[in-house]
Structure formats: C-alpha cells, structure tokens
Structure 1
Amino acid sequence: MMNNTMLHIQQSRQKRKRRYIAITSLLACIALLLCGTMLMLGNTIYPVRDVVRVLLGHDVDGANFAIGTIRLPRMLAGAFAGFAFGVGGYVFQTMLRNPLANPNVIGITAGSSAAAVFCIVVLQASNTVISIASVVGGLATVLIIYVLAKGASFSIGRLILIGIGIQAMLNAFISYLMLLANTHDIPTALRWLSGSLNGMKLESTYPLIIAVIIMTPLLLYFSKRLSMLELGEQAATSLGVDTNRTRIVLIVGAVIILALATATTGPIAFVAFLAGPIAQRLVGSDFSNVLPAGLIGIILVLAADLIGQFAFSVRYPVGVITGIIGAPYLIYLLIRINRKGDL
C-alpha cells in the first residue's frame, strides 16, 4: 500500500514537471516569435532571410539601418525590460505573499522613476548616471518602506499601504520636477514616464542586459527558498531557510533589474503586476515560476508594443497599452481582496 502511494506521488510530480517544462518551452517559443516579428515589421516588412543576414553581419541593401539601428535596440530593450519586470514582480508578490505587493503598487518603480526624472530634467545626466541613480532610488525606497512598515511587528498589509502612500508622494515629486523642467526636456521625460521603446539605442540597453544576465541565475538559485518563504516565516525557518539573508539577496537582485529596466524604458505599467499571476495560472505553484514570469513579461511588452505600433491609426507607447490591459485586473483584484478582508 505504501509503495503504491509513493509511486502515485512520484507519477503526479513527474506529470506536473512535464507540464512545467512544456508550458515554459511554449512561452519561450512565443517570446522568440515576437522578437522575430519585432525585427521584421515596420514601414518596410523584411523577410526572415534578410533579418538573419543582418544579424549575422552581412550587408543587405536598405535593411541594415532599419533592422540593426532601429528595430534591434527596440526589441532588446523590450525583451530584457519585460523579463526584468516579470521576474521582479513575481519575486515581490511571492516573497510578501500578496498579489498587490508588486513594484508598481508599493512604490519601488516610482522611486527609480523619481531618481531618473531628477537626473533627466535637473542634472541632464548621461544614461550611466541615470541607471545608477535609478538603482539607488529603488533600493532607498525599499529601505524606507520596510523601516516604516516594520513597527512593533512586521505586517504585509501595512507594508502595502505604506508603499501606496510613498508612491503617491514620489509621483507628486515627479510632477513638481516636471514643472521645473526646461521646455525641451519635458517631451523626453513624458515619453519616458509613459513607458516607451521609441528611440532606443543599442548602447543604452547594455546595463540592463548585463544586469539581467548576472542576476537571473542568482534569483533562479534562490527560487526554491523563495517558494519556502511563501509558506510563512516559521515554516521557512523550520525548513532550514535563512530568511533574512534570503530576503536581502532577493530584494537587492530584483530591485537592481527593476531599476535598470525602469531607467531604460521607463515604468512600463502593470507588467510586473500581471506576469506572476499569469505564470501561476498557466504553470501552477508546484515549481518556481521565476522563468515563466520573466517570459510572460517579454510576451506582454513585445505584444503590447506591436499593438501600439500597428493596431491603431496613431502610434501609442507600450506603457499605454499595458496600462489598458492591467487596470481592469487591478480593480478586480482590489474588489476581491476587499471582500476577503485580506488587506
């Protein structure tokens, strides 16, 4: 009887593992398809053959500039920013055990945005300085929210409410900076604040690409401990997890890629909010969803950018499209949580 039970458990786990691999592979294929579509579509549609030749360094009449200079940086920025927002949002939602505890809602991206806007409109700094300031602003915001939320005992609900308040303050600060800005800096800042892939340059994507390549293996390594944190503080500790060290590593790693994504493309709305829940709905909660959440982030950003470019008579920034998609879900989630009394 015991052997039959163990065999049934192993078979169920293998089945769930196969489902995880199959869905993750499918998401990766969709993400790659969208990347290719981003390189092919534009004022001129190029066949796959020409795209591949340009990427391999060959000269193709009329295609090198369009693909290599305009479309490739746009695609890379969208893909890596989408992955960063998806992973970062999933880490915070899982670690704090609340779908509202994502970087957009609790003010982390607002902290990075405020630092970046200050560098753009006041200091008129370089992209390197903007990237560094975004990381510092994001980490400082996390620290302030945590200190204010800790009190006598740590409360996730208190952290979310304080984060919402901090976000409102930072958005007010950003509005004040816009009033002080020179006229020629305002369009740049507004386009950046809406979350846009327009005018991307290849060199501006390097810090984000490097950060994602370095931080993703680290976050994947800690993903099992992240799943244990979802069980609660006492349960994770009893399973041998150093909760304080794990939280520090996860928070720093997630904030770094989130801040650099924000510095590169602006705060693309709701990607960090949607990617984790969608991944959990598709894959389940038996395995870590760090990688599926990142892939869904890529899909959301690239699909939204294609819709914004080609589905309407007027071209819209990617953040406008993701905002239209994500806002109804946020309202639904707030109504559901209010009925449960979880906040």
Structure 2
Amino acid sequence: MKTKIPVLICIDVEPDEFFVSRQNPEPWRGYELTHAYIGEWRSALQQRTGDAVHVSWFIRMDPQVALAHGRASWAVEHYPELFQQAIDAGDELGAHVHTYRWCGNSGDWLDDHGNDDWVAECLDTAVEGYRSSFGRTCRSLRFGNYWSGTEAINRAEALGFRFDLTIEPGLAPNALDARKPAHSGDLPDYYRVPREPYAPSRSDFRRRARAGERDITLLPLTSSHLRYGWGPRSLGQRFRRLRNNGLQHRRQDTPLSMWRDWRPPNDFSRMLDRAITQQRRPYLAFAIHSNAPVEPGSLPRIERCLQALTSHPERSRFVFCTPAEAMAILQTNASGHPSGHAPGALSR
C-alpha cells in the first residue's frame, strides 16, 4: 500500500497592483475571481474523488494595506462572506507579509526587507490584524517577493507562527521582478536549502536546527529539474545546476511555478514525476497569486498546471490539505505505516 502525498495549494490574497494607490485604492478584483475559480475547481475535484479538498489562503494585512485602505484587516472586512466560505470548507487562513514602506521623499513604495526593524513592524501589523479579524493566533506565513530572512523567521516563531511556506529551492539570488518597487537588501540564496520540511537554524534560516529546538517548521515549495538535450550548451547547464545546488539537490533546482508555461519535454506532469521521484517522503507545495485573473495569460497557465496535477497518474495518492494536515501525514508516513487519513480526520 503506497503512502499518501500531501498537496499544498497556497494562494496569496493581495491587491491587483504592486504600486497600490494611497489616494484611490482599488478593490481586489483578482482575489474575487480567484476565490470563485478555486471554488469551482474544488467542487469539481471533490465530486470526482469523493475526498475533501483544502487549500491555504495567505492574506495581506501589512502596513501597505493599512496605509492604502485605512486598516490592515481591510480585506477580511471587505470580503467577509468569501473568508467565511474558506473557513467553512476547512481551509487554512494565514498571513502573506510584504515589506513595502511608503517613502515620502520619493513619493513611492520601497520593498524594505533589508531593514530588520521594518520587517518586524510588518509582521507585528499582520499578526494584530489577523487576531482582530479571527480572534486567534495566525499559524501559517508566506513572505512576499521570494524574500525571507533569519531574524524575520525567528520573530515569526516568537509571534506564534508554526509554518512558513516562502522558500523556493533552487531560486537564483536577487531574482526579483523588475516590475515591482525598488528594494533594500538582497534576495537570499536558495540554491542549497533543504527540499523537505525542516526546523530552521536560529543563525541561518536556510540551514537545519537540531530536532526539537524550534516550534516553527519551514515547508519549501516544490522544485524539480529540466530535461536537457546534449551538446556544449546542455553540458554547461548541467554543470551550473550541479555547482549551484550540489550533488544531493541537483535534480530539484527548478521551482514548479504555476505561472510558467511548461512545455514538453518539461511539461508540468513530467516535472511532477521528477519531483516525486526525488523525494524520500514526497509532498507537493505550490503558490498562486490572487492577481492571476487580471494578469494577461496567467490564469490559463495556472489552470493547465492544476489540470496536470489532478489528472496525474499518482493522483489517487494526493491529499489536498493544510500545512498542519500535511505534517501529520508526513509524520505518519515516516513511522512506516501508510497514511489512510482523509484531510478532515486530521487534528487541526
């Protein structure tokens, strides 16, 4: 009997634009459309499989939202019915924290993740906004713009976060989108981070701590590897993959971003095959931005990836679940007993 494979679908709930207007902030139309799309996808998958489908919504409640919309908790107050539907479905509600700071001198936003004090303020704002909205401590976190940091993770743990799903293994340093605001500091090197859930070191979040030392677990998103041809160019690509990621992780060097257009021989289904094969205890984790429906061409690419995922040959093993449920399944798998849990049966 084969073990179950947890599948985490993370959805960042955020404004449609990176440069949010302080004078005339727009409703989050992308989130409205994403919520409807995920609802239809969930319903169709549950009818086909008979199993519960849980996803994780990571909500922007940071200082940029507070400054533009008047309150960090604006999204929850503006879309109460949608978030209640997510709660009723058994979904995880977490925090998606960007570190945008308004610079009065330039009259523009700065992604100030190089400022530890500002990062701490962004986390504190999100935690308070979440607690005031839902009456409980937020457990799950995703930072924005691929960024994370050691001091930020340590503070997140102290604030009560238990799961972080930011890291994208294999991502090159400073791979920031030029369309977004300028930034302070650098994007960390994610080449040699673990490819499985781990407790982070207090001195470097990209390294493991000893077992039992931490209350927070980092769940890296899924990475796979591209199939190259032969010739001088492909040999160079293979060498760079080995040099950057090391021998152990050379076949998990390409983040499986659903916004990408995956084509044979590296279509999404084959990339999933390779990712699952490389993992000792397989799990899958992907992130989607709620502005996808308003980004030209983005939603069709995501839809093709979700279709490949739900029609994959290993789909009978997939359990679409929350971070806590995923860890429970992986712990069961580690004990040597195949997991027979349905998501709703796991402790929350």
TM-score, with normalisation over the residues of structure 2? 0.25
Higher helix share: 1
Structure with bigger gyration radius? 1
